[in-house]
């Protein structure tokens, strides 16, 4: 854990610089157009997908390295071609040592249940793809279908036909020709076999998904990619929550399975216009445009006249519904358009319009039609704003509704399974295709890795493996190394002077046993205004200041941002902010002060505890992306260490260890669905390239692991007859993993309420020769090393650090932190 890799990073907006190919310039009155109505001839997405070449993964993925900072820009994935399941990325075959087996051995076996159901099909099942030709050619798709389906006795009942391609579950004898007399004309239909698709082929998988959706989704409302039940909403003030399910059918390790999880959609019955009115009332005309952009850009809205969702990319301040756009040959105003098209009246003719870049391809592969202009009055907000996310009460209400215990979750999943098996229509359809699902959740065996022993100086201790927390065990033990605190400041407002005093005393009391030597802080009172806080900082923080503690009167973001901005960028000094409320309860003060003392110590470069890692000369790197929705940045964020920065990390390693690492393990977090290919194709080679810059003969062993937290897989354990979360340290590396990957799941953290979500690790590159078992154990060990939490976290600590830094930079600083801080965990 010596080379704690970290690097500067800065967020930057994308989209502003590169438009999607073919996108029009920023909306002018001519270019602007409202969203096209669902045209009668509109193509169906399901069919469009079917026609795609098997295994095609977005080829448009492009990656750019900006000149100034070492950032990776992940290019626009081509619209609907994006494969959310990252199918077709075959990384395992390139790693010799896991070709045979990728399973570990350590730990004790545990019986688990997973939210998967096996797809059962007849042993010889295959899908047959035919091309259907009509002579003379026929325009009407409906007529084509009608004619073709006259031949049920030959084709059978199970079939899907999109006008040209026919799928059947059986093989026809040779080429079949039908002749059909239509009034005066003779129509000849020729059906030719073009492809035989094995059950696991991508087309087949897509086909299962389509068939399955068709029936599952009765009475469900589609939003984005998922389906929700609108008849049973949960309401908390200003929010409506629809329960639903996410499902997908994929080829997993040993069989094709349906993975399904409970999902919730947060909707709001408030229009963007309502939102704008309120905002204007709150912040006044002057600040309104800024505040409005900040709050709205990045949000997803739902329109009143169709079921489409749009992302707000900008606000067209110079546009109102009275502006016109070209429709056919004539100009029409937005106002008239919505009136004639949808019978909708616009009540506020002065509202400004919203801009959404439409990524979807135009009809028949045409380039995207450019930005769409939306009427705020007809747009409804979905999801949560950052403001709501920070609102403790809203989040509490929300989680009380959406957080399900393992038992609740399992029962909802079982209800879902029962509904499907009871739905005769669905069952009939599936059985005509020769398909059925196992009517129960998948059972499988996992392993619980042994608990780690925590080393703290000369002392070692164990922790309760179920709680996965050692805050009590470490109480009163000296830390591995601590920085003496000689010159430090504490800022507080007059109202909080009592709190500040008692914090100071308690800090003194708790720091002794931990081995932290602490001088009395210089106490500085500031007035409760941002400017005076900044002035106080400027006047008092000097080059010798080791630490700045600021007691904030409220958890408002602006003061926090101000402190962090000044002390991370302008005047590099470790700092610690505390909201006064946290300190208000005397009985909790000891706990809080202990945490603060630990945190301060880390920020100055102290070491708290460690665990044994039986590998030498090891450097571990964490990479994360910050997704700043509020600032309109899509996925560019702080990347810890890439290219030059990567070599910077190697140099830092050299500085502290007097040698270069012989092993480098990179944990890459923040990879979205469908982005795996570009990580493999672009990021891995970049990392290798930057290693090369250290010298031609320097060839460390490299491992790159993609870490995913937001996944649909869930596991349940049955302990003492009760359905619970699997214990921390549970590893799953069979059945539900993917055959083409070297991947595994670890449940590392313990949760107090709700169901735990496992973390998925996908080793996309590995020439280290490390056994899968060691890879899993190492990963789990690293989850013990996040100093801001005296327990096990969800991801390896370097990822958590990277996330924290990326978040700080993206949310508060918006600038590159000062280089002098680089060697410290200042961002905790």
Partner 1 sequence: MCRNGSDRMAALFSPPLYLQRYQFVIEYVKRFIPRKVIDLGCADCGLLRKLKFHRNAIEVLAGVDIDCAALRERVNALAPLTIDYLQPSPRPLTIELYQGSVTEREPCTQGFDLVTCMELIEHLQLWEVEGFSNVVFGYMNPCAVIISTPNVEFNPLLPGLRGFRNKDHKFEWTRAEFQTWALGVCMEYGYSVEFTGVGVAPGQNRDVGFCTQIAVFQRDAGVSNGPVNNAVQMEPTVYRLLYRVVYPSLCDNNIFQRTLVCQVLYRAESLKREFELGEQSMQSDLTACAHSLPPDVVAGSTVVYRHRSHVFVPLQHVWTDPKVQALCGNIHRLRQALMDDSRVQLDTDRDAIILPDEGEEEEDEEETGECEEGNLTPSPVVDNSEEDWETEIG
- Considering the complex, state which of residue 125 and residue 342 has its C-beta at the smaller distance from partner 1: 342
Structure tokens at 166: 């026919």
Q: How far is the CB of 284 from partner 1 (least distance, A)?
A: 15
- Considering the complex, state which of residue 183 and residue 422 has its C-beta at the smaller distance from partner 1: 183
Q: How far is the CB of 543 from partner 1 (least distance, A)?
A: 33
- Considering the complex, state which of residue 7 and residue 266 has its C-beta at the smaller distance from partner 1: 266
- Tell me the residue length of the chain: 828
Signed CA dihedral, 650, 656, 660, 664: sign only? negative
Structure tokens at 673: 């669905």
Q: How far is the CB of 487 from partner 1 (least distance, A)?
A: 30
- Considering the complex, state which of residue 417 and residue 778 has its C-beta at the smaller distance from partner 1: 778
Task: List CB contacts of 281: < 8 A, sequence separation 6 or more.
Answer: none
Structure tokens at 10: 């800065």
User: Is 175 within 8 Å of 133 (Cβ atoms)?
Assistant: no
The DSSP secondary structure of 418-446, one letter per residue, reads HHHHH-HHHHHHHHHTTEEE-SSPEEEEE
3-class secondary structure, 655: helix
User: Is 627 within 8 Å of 635 (Cβ atoms)?
Assistant: yes
Q: How far is the CB of 588 from partner 1 (least distance, A)?
A: 5
Q: How far is the CB of 581 from partner 1 (least distance, A)?
A: 7
Rounded CA-CA distance 611/478 in Å is 15
Q: How far is the CB of 108 from partner 1 (least distance, A)?
A: 6
Rounded CA-CA distance 157/164 in Å is 18
Q: How far is the CB of 181 from partner 1 (least distance, A)?
A: 12
- Considering the complex, state which of residue 106 and residue 195 has its C-beta at the smaller distance from partner 1: 106
Q: How far is the CB of 465 from partner 1 (least distance, A)?
A: 5
Segment (H or E) for 189: strand 185-197
- Considering the complex, state which of residue 571 and residue 615 has its C-beta at the smaller distance from partner 1: 615
- Considering the complex, state which of residue 53 and residue 330 has its C-beta at the smaller distance from partner 1: 330
3-class secondary structure, 333: strand
Return the closest-CA partner of residue 662 out of 7, 2, 97, 102.
2
Distance of CA 353 to the CA centre of its chain: 29
- Considering the complex, state which of residue 726 and residue 798 has its C-beta at the smaller distance from partner 1: 726
| Tally of CB atoms within 10 A around 516 | 22
Q: How far is the CB of 781 from partner 1 (least distance, A)?
A: 9
Structure tokens at 627: 């997704």
User: Is 826 within 8 Å of 33 (Cβ atoms)?
Assistant: no
Residue 495 DSSP one-character state: G
- Considering the complex, state which of residue 65 and residue 719 has its C-beta at the smaller distance from partner 1: 719
3-class secondary structure, 146: helix
Q: How far is the CB of 149 from partner 1 (least distance, A)?
A: 8
Task: List CB contacts of 278: < 8 A, sequence separation 6 or more.
Answer: none
Q: How far is the CB of 495 from partner 1 (least distance, A)?
A: 5
- Considering the complex, state which of residue 394 and residue 809 has its C-beta at the smaller distance from partner 1: 394
- Considering the complex, state which of residue 177 and residue 453 has its C-beta at the smaller distance from partner 1: 453
Q: How far is the CB of 120 from partner 1 (least distance, A)?
A: 29
Rounded CA-CA distance 203/127 in Å is 9
CA dist 383 → 217, 265, 283, 312, 386 (Å): 22, 7, 22, 13, 10
Q: How far is the CB of 240 from partner 1 (least distance, A)?
A: 6
Q: How far is the CB of 306 from partner 1 (least distance, A)?
A: 7
- Considering the complex, state which of residue 623 and residue 770 has its C-beta at the smaller distance from partner 1: 770
User: Is 745 within 8 Å of 732 (Cβ atoms)?
Assistant: yes
Q: How far is the CB of 45 from partner 1 (least distance, A)?
A: 12
Task: List CB contacts of 237: < 8 A, sequence separation 6 or more.
Answer: none
Structure tokens at 641: 């260490």
Q: How far is the CB of 685 from partner 1 (least distance, A)?
A: 25
Phi, psi of 695 (to 5 degrees): 135, 140
Q: How far is the CB of 448 from partner 1 (least distance, A)?
A: 6
Rounded CA-CA distance 46/436 in Å is 21
- Considering the complex, state which of residue 340 and residue 414 has its C-beta at the smaller distance from partner 1: 340
- Considering the complex, state which of residue 240 and residue 408 has its C-beta at the smaller distance from partner 1: 240
Rounded CA-CA distance 403/396 in Å is 10
- Considering the complex, state which of residue 502 and residue 686 has its C-beta at the smaller distance from partner 1: 502
Return the closest-CA partner of residue 180 out of 155, 151, 142.
151
Rounded CA-CA distance 231/243 in Å is 9
User: Is 539 within 8 Å of 527 (Cβ atoms)?
Assistant: no
Structure tokens at 435: 């398909």
Burial of 523 (0-12, 13-18, 19+ CB in 10 A): middle
- Considering the complex, state which of residue 13 and residue 182 has its C-beta at the smaller distance from partner 1: 182
Distance of CA 551 to the CA centre of its chain: 33
- Considering the complex, state which of residue 467 and residue 630 has its C-beta at the smaller distance from partner 1: 467
- Considering the complex, state which of residue 124 and residue 219 has its C-beta at the smaller distance from partner 1: 219
Rounded CA-CA distance 196/170 in Å is 10
Q: How far is the CB of 269 from partner 1 (least distance, A)?
A: 5
Rounded CA-CA distance 519/479 in Å is 18
| Tally of CB atoms within 10 A around 272 | 24
User: Is 331 within 8 Å of 324 (Cβ atoms)?
Assistant: yes
Task: List CB contacts of 268: < 8 A, sequence separation 6 or more.
Answer: 238, 239, 240, 380, 381, 382
Structure tokens at 248: 């997908």
Find residue 320's DSSP bridge partners. Answer: none
């Amino acid at each position: 854990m010596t080379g704690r890799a970290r690097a500067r990073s800065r967020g930057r907006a994308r989209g502003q610089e590169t438009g999607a190919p073919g996108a029009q310039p920023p909306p002018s009155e001519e270019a602007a157009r409202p969203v096209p109505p669902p045209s009668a001839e509109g193509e169906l997405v399901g069919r469009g997908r079917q026609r795609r070449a098997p295994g095609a993964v977005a080829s448009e993925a492009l990656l750019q390295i900006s000149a100034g900072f070492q950032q990776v820009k992940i290019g626009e994935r081509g619209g609907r071609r994006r494969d959310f399941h990252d199918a077709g990325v075959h990384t395992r075959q390139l790693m010799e040592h896991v070709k045979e087996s990728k399973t570990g051995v350590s730990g004790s076996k545990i019986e688990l249940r997973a939210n998967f159901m096996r797809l059962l099909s007849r042993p010889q099942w295959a899908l047959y793809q035919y091309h259907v030709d009509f002579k003379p050619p026929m325009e009407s798709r409906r007529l084509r279908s009608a004619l073709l389906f006259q031949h049920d006795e030959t084709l059978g009942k199970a079939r899907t036909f999109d006008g040209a391609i026919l799928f059947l579950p059986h093989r026809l004898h040779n080429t079949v020709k039908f002749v059909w007399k239509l009034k005066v004309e003779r129509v000849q239909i020729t059906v030719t076999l073009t492809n035989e698709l094995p059950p696991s082929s991508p087309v087949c998988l897509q086909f299962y998904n389509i068939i399955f959706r068709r029936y599952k989704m009765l009475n469900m409302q589609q939003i984005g990619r998922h389906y929700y039940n609108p008849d049973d909403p949960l309401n908390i003030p200003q929010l409506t929550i629809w329960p639903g399910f996410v499902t997908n059918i994929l080829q997993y390790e040993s069989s094709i399975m349906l993975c399904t999880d409970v999902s919730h959609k947060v909707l709001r019955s408030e229009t963007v216009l309502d939102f704008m009115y309120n905002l204007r009332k709150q912040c006044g005309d002057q600040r309104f445009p800024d505040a409005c952009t900040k709050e709205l850009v990045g949000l997803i809205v739902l329109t009143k006249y169709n079921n489409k969702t749009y992302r707000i990319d900008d606000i067209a301040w110079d546009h109102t519904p009275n502006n016109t756009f070209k429709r056919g040959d004539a100009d029409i105003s937005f106002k008239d358009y919505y009136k004639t098209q949808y019978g909708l009246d616009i009540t506020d003719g002065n509202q400004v319009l919203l801009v959404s870049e439409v990524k979807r391809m135009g009809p028949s592969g045409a380039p995207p039609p450019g930005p769409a202009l939306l009427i705020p009055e007809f747009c409804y907000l979905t999801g949560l704003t950052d403001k709501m996310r920070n609102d403790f009460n809203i989040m509490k209400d929300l989680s009380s509704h959406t957080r399900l215990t393992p038992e609740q979750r399992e029962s909802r999943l079982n209800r879902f399974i029962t509904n499907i098996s009871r739905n005769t229509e669905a069952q009939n359809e599936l059985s005509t295709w020769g398909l059925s699902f196992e009517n129960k959740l998948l059972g499988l065996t996992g392993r619980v890795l042994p608990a780690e022993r925590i080393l703290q100086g000369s002392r070692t201790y164990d922790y309760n493996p179920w709680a996965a927390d050692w805050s009590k065990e470490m109480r009163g033990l000296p830390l591995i190394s601590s920085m003496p605190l000689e010159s430090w400041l504490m800022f507080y407002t007059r109202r909080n002077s009592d709190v500040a005093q008692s914090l100071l005393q308690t800090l003194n009391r708790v720091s002794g046993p931990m081995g932290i030597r602490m001088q009395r802080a210089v106490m500085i009172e500031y007035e409760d205004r941002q400017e005076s806080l900044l002035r106080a900082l400027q006047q008092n923080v000097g080059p010798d200041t080791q630490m700045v503690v600021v007691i904030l009167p409220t958890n408002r973001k602006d003061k926090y941002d101000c402190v962090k901005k000044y002390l991370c960028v302008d005047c590099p000094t470790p700092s610690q902010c505390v909201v006064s409320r946290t300190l208000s309860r005397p009985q909790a003060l000891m706990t809080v002060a202990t945490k603060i003392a630990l945190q301060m110590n880390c920020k100055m470069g102290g070491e708290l505890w460690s665990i044994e890692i039986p590998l030498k000369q090891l450097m571990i790197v964490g990479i994360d992306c910050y997704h700043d929705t509020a600032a309109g940045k899509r996925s560019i964020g702080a990347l810890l260490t890439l290219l030059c920065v990567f070599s910077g990390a190697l140099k830092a390693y050299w500085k502290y260890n007097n040698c270069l690492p012989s092993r480098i393990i990179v944990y890459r977090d923040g990879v979205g669905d469908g982005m795996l290919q570009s990580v493999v194709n672009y990021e891995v080679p970049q990392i290798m390239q930057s290693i090369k810059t250290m010298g031609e003969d320097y060839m460390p062993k490299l491992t790159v692991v993609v870490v995913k937290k937001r996944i649909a897989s869930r596991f349940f354990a049955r302990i003492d007859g009760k359905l619970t979360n699997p214990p921390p340290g549970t590893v799953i590396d069979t059945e539900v993993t993917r055959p083409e990957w070297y991947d595994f799941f670890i449940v590392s953290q313990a949760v107090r309420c709700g169901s735990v979500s496992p973390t998925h690790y996908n080793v996309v590159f590995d020439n280290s020769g490390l056994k899968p078992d060691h890879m899993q154990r190492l990963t789990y060990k690293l989850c013990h090393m996040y100093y801001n939490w005296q327990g096990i976290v969800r991801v390896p600590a370097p990822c958590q650090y990277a996330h924290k830094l990326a978040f700080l930079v993206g949310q508060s600083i918006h600038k590159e932190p000062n280089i002098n801080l680089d060697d410290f965990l200042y961002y905790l």
